[in-house]
């Protein structure tokens, strides 16, 4: 059976339409069946998706297409692009490999809270963004601690190189079944990030029925005044990866991991 491909792009990002047209031309030359969708109006009638945009676009596509077990391939537009696998300069080569099935699909753990899912993280903050709030943490029904902080990040291995890392959390390799819980600017030196099993159920209680704001991947925001339950989502994001790209090389190339500042340029 011939695969049906889709191009999903973010028309609000500069140069996205240009890259989309270049990708469309490559697929036409190879007589490949494809559809084109805006990231705000995706469809599930495909077997593989090229996603054109930044990491935010890829995160949004991953949340949608994970429900249909469809692999996605990120095409970077010249920014950090930690989740992307190709850019304009090597697009033709990347497409050739994908059409030849010369790639692997990596299942990435996702999280859920109520009806929302996230590939990177859920961030929980108090009603008043300008001051710290109290967060009562339970893991698998066991009391862990009380955080007095600006917020809490619960992140996946994929999200550990995003907000979680910026807040002082650990970097987790994407192949492990683990989650990280990271307090944001805690008001005590005893509060530290913690890494737990990926199948754990996290409960963050809201004392005094306070209203808490929750964001999924920094994109979907909602409020709760009840206990917040964070657990593994039943689906996985499926990221299509080319053979030469591995997690450690991406750390070095994208985040300058282990490189002294004077060598950045």
* Catalytic-labelled residue, pool 45, 47, 55, 102: 55
CA–CA distance from 205 to each of 138, 141, 143, 212, 225 (Å)? 8, 12, 10, 10, 9
55 is catalytic: yes
Query: Tokens at residue 233, please?
Result: 């989502």
Residue 5 near residue 46, CB atoms below 8 Å = yes
Q: How far is CA 28 from the centre of its chain?
A: 30
Say how far apart CA 13 and CA 18 lie, in whole Å: 10
Question: What is the 3-state secondary structure of 157-225?
Answer: CHHHHCHHHHCCCCCCCCCCCEEEEEEECCCCCCCCCEEEECCCCEEEECHHHCCEEEEECCCEEEEEC
Q: Which residues are catalytic?
A: 55
């Amino acid at each position: 059976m011939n695969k049906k491909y889709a191009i999903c792009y973010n028309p609000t990002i500069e140069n996205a339409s240009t890259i989309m047209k270049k990708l469309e031309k490559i697929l036409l030359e190879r007589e490949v069946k494809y559809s084109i969708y805006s990231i705000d109006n995706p469809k599930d009638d495909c077997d593989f998706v090229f996603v054109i945009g930044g990491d935010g676009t890829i995160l949004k596509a991953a949340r949608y297409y994970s429900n249909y077990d469809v692999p996605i391939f990120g095409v970077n537009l010249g920014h950090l692009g930690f989740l992307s696998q190709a850019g304009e300069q090597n697009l033709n080569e990347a497409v050739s490999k994908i059409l030849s099935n010369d790639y692997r699909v990596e299942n990435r753990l996702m999280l859920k809270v109520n009806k929302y899912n996230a590939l990177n993280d859920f961030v929980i903050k108090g009603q008043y963004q300008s001051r710290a709030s109290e967060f009562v943490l339970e893991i698998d029904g066991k009391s862990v601690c009380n955080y007095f902080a600006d917020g809490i990040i619960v992140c996946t291995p994929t999200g550990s190189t995003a907000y979680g890392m910026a807040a002082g959390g650990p970097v987790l390799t994407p192949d492990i079944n683990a989650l990280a819980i990271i307090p944001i600017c805690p008001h005590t030196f005893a509060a530290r990030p913690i890494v737990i099993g990926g199948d754990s159920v996290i409960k963050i209680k809201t004392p005094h029925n306070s209203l808490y704001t929750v964001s999924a991947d920094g994109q979907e925001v909602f409020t709760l005044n009840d206990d917040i339950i964070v657990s593994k989502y039943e689906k996985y994001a499926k990221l299509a990866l080319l053979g030469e790209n591995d997690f450690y090389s991406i750390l070095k190339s994208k985040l300058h991991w282990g490189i002294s500042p004077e060598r950045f340029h």
